[in-house]
Structure 1
């Protein structure tokens, strides 16, 4: 329903009277308004909160070797992909250590090859060293058996027989020792192989790489700087998603749950609302502030949101109440209070109201109006 009401019919509002006086000087013109009823409807409650934005991931990358910084490949603000080189460190004597370990391993492997220099043996008896000891043992055994036969026939002296027997016993002991040596060498080869791998890894670790995709937040080293193991060199942050960490009053604990939608606004973009969802809640309440922490995840593919932004958030709760609502256009703000113009018998009356939640184009009226009343909305 649209009405044409003379401004002079408005109640005691000083502003209305001054406007009426102005209109009178120009000839009285009626004010056209649209009259709408105050209705009761379901209102989904929201929890308003404030907090800050944080990166989804943040890591301080450290050096895994001791040495001097040879080159820094990135700087603050640079985008990095997973595995991208960040810093190169020249290790102290690490290359020499690797060569020494490789040389020692090659010497051991040479002793573990078959006769003719084939691949390393699986059976110790196939090793060249054991083969030679076995040949010596076989030869000594044959000579011992021959000497034993001749001694029994009285054809050689006791001393000659004892010499052949001693040589045979020594050859048998030499064979057993050769087998044991090969087993020991195999264990040493495994140990040296691990040492070579470790030295090689340390050498490859001289190039420090990004652990995940993100941006460089901070650079703590420069070319020529000496660093030790675990010296911080670069800070990487992932910002394609952000964490909004919010403070919620304890009295609202029953209203908030994981998965609820969240709308966030920041001062840098006052006309935009960034949507997310509650991802986790702290199970404890801070006794000092009587509040608890809530974290929401926000998508940030375009990168407009920055970690550290102050955030105002509205969490859409599962609570729904019946409430009186009027269009927000019906409100007038004057001297720190909200007022509406109610319509009674084709006249406007100024009424002070207290507001609750805002939802779309409507606003909740906590006090000042009753259901069924009519308010004026300017056309």
Structure 2
């Protein structure tokens, strides 16, 4: 009986192990089948058409819109100009010399000193010897006047005596001749006194015109003969730009015309009036000197500074104009960046259309992209370039009203999404960036 009981227990354990093995195998096979069926159904689900609008946030993973400023292409009449480089020159320049010999006892000005005509004393010469000469001549005049008075009274007695035949006629005539000599001598000494007085008045040397001292040629204590230079001054107020104009442009300007000028070192833009055109030109370069008068801006503009003048090169014409900041000029070609409308979210660039002045802001920055267009610069004015497209295919894209990028174009790539900055004030520098370099994007803001 015991042996039979053990045999039944062993058979029960084997049955239980078999059931567990079959159950585990069935579970694993079911999971594997489920995994396989799910993989087969996924492509069908993915390829099904979208029945609901996509989440806009899912499409924002691309590059952020670049912040730019824009302006418009215009078609206007303008006069093309060329830039000629010249120099600022003083209207008047003078070397002031002493008119009286003597020692310099006062020299209150130095190089760079401003002077006023008739008021600023440039130098003063020692007046010791001049005063002594004046006193000497005055004494001689007094002596001659006393002698002359005595001789005139004596002549009156001679004339009375001649009536009574007490003296001869020749003696009377001699007396008259003596008096005439004394009168001539007295007149000469009076002239000498006026000359000495005039020299004394010129011991103080004053500025002949408003200006400034550019050279100091003497020092206090130095003895100077007549005609020795003391200082050199140049005029102020008006200053001239002297440029050499080619003969082909000479016929396009007249005396009295207004030209635009740029002071290179200071970045000052101003206008001047053509003051003179020199008829004697350079045979080698075929250019003619032209002087353009302007105000010296309260002494800011100085002789010797460089100046650029914008001189017309041909008559007025009608061309496509863009701001100068919109053109990237390179030795091989020039480029402008225009804004075109397109579905930037879907990435469809084939539906792009040229942008009008108010389009970027009205349609939103996400629907505008920037595209480069190679152009040829025909000529320029102070503020604009006259352009024409290099490729025929770009001609319809360049028309009046199309938006061109004026700030931020150095960072653009073809097809870049852009955001138009409505602020027209000057860009402020951002810490860690250049003023005209990387600007704040949507993410930074």
> Could you tell me the TM-score, scaled by structure 1's length?
0.71
Asked if 1:363 corresponds to 2:390, the answer is no
Asked if 1:135 corresponds to 2:160, the answer is yes
After TM superposition, list the pairs within 5 Å mapping 1:108-123 onto structure 2: 108-113=144-149
1:131-183 residue CA offsets vs partner (Å, 9 max, x unmatched): 23223324xx1xx5xxxxxxxxxxxxxxxxxxxxxx442xx323222223333
- For structure 1, the residue ranges without an aligned partner over 5 or more in a row are 1-23, 116-123, 145-166
Change in CA separation of 1:299 and 1:129 when aligned onto 2, cut-off 3 Å? farther
Question: Of residues 306, 311, 314 in structure 2, which corresponds to 1:310?
Answer: 306
After TM superposition, list the pairs within 5 Å mapping 1:77-92 onto structure 2: 77-83=112-118, 84-90=120-126
Q: Secondary structure at the match of 1:278?
A: strand
1:64-98 residue CA offsets vs partner (Å, 9 max, x unmatched): 12222112121122222223322122268433333
Question: Of residues 404, 420, 427 in structure 2, which corresponds to 1:377?
Answer: 404
Q: Secondary structure at the match of 2:176?
A: helix
Give the strand-richer structure, 1 or 2: 1
Q: Is the 8 A contact 1:353 1:368 kept in 2?
A: yes
Change in CA separation of 1:103 and 1:247 when aligned onto 2, cut-off 3 Å? same
Question: Of residues 282, 285, 289 in structure 1, which corresponds to 2:285?
Answer: 289
Which range moved further: 277-286 or 190-199?
190-199
After TM superposition, list the pairs within 5 Å mapping 1:1-379 onto structure 2: 26-27=61-62, 39=75, 41-83=76-118, 84-90=120-126, 93-113=129-149, 127-138=152-163, 141=164, 144=165, 167-169=166-168, 172-270=169-267, 272-315=268-311, 319-328=315-324, 330-333=326-329, 336-340=332-336, 346=352, 350-359=372-381, 362-365=384-387, 368=390, 373-375=396-398, 376-378=403-405, 379=420
1:314 offset after TM fit, Å?
1.7
Q: Secondary structure at the match of 1:107?
A: helix
How far apart, CA to CA, are the structure 2 residues paired with 1:33 and 1:199?
Answer: 76
Q: Higher relative CO (CA 8 A, sep ≥ 6), structure 1 or 2? A: 1
Q: Secondary structure at the match of 1:97?
A: helix
1:254-283 residue CA offsets vs partner (Å, 9 max, x unmatched): 12221111222223321x212211101110
How far apart, CA to CA, are the structure 2 residues paired with 1:88 and 1:33?
Answer: 63
Q: Is the 8 A contact 1:95 1:203 kept in 2?
A: yes
Q: Is the 8 A contact 2:262 2:270 kept in 1?
A: yes
How far apart, CA to CA, are the structure 1 residues paired with 2:187 and 2:122?
Answer: 34
Q: Secondary structure at the match of 2:79?
A: strand
Q: Is the 8 A contact 2:265 2:306 kept in 1?
A: no
- For structure 2, the residue ranges without an aligned partner over 5 or more in a row are 1-58, 341-349, 355-370, 406-419, 421-445
Cα RMSD, aligned residues only: 3.4
Q: Secondary structure at the match of 2:117?
A: coil
Matched residue pairs, number?
A: 315
Q: Is the 8 A contact 1:89 1:207 kept in 2?
A: yes
Q: Secondary structure at the match of 1:319?
A: coil
Change in CA separation of 1:173 and 1:365 when aligned onto 2, cut-off 3 Å? same
How far apart, CA to CA, are the structure 1 residues paired with 2:97 and 2:187?
Answer: 30
Change in CA separation of 1:253 and 1:192 when aligned onto 2, cut-off 3 Å? same
Q: Is the 8 A contact 2:89 2:240 kept in 1?
A: yes
Q: Is the 8 A contact 1:66 1:91 kept in 2?
A: no
Change in CA separation of 1:80 and 1:37 when aligned onto 2, cut-off 3 Å? closer
How far apart, CA to CA, are the structure 1 residues paired with 2:240 and 2:384?
Answer: 30
Which range moved further: 45-54 or 273-282?
45-54
Q: Secondary structure at the match of 1:60?
A: strand
> Could you tell me the TM-score, scaled by structure 2's length?
0.62
* Aligned counterpart, 2:364: none
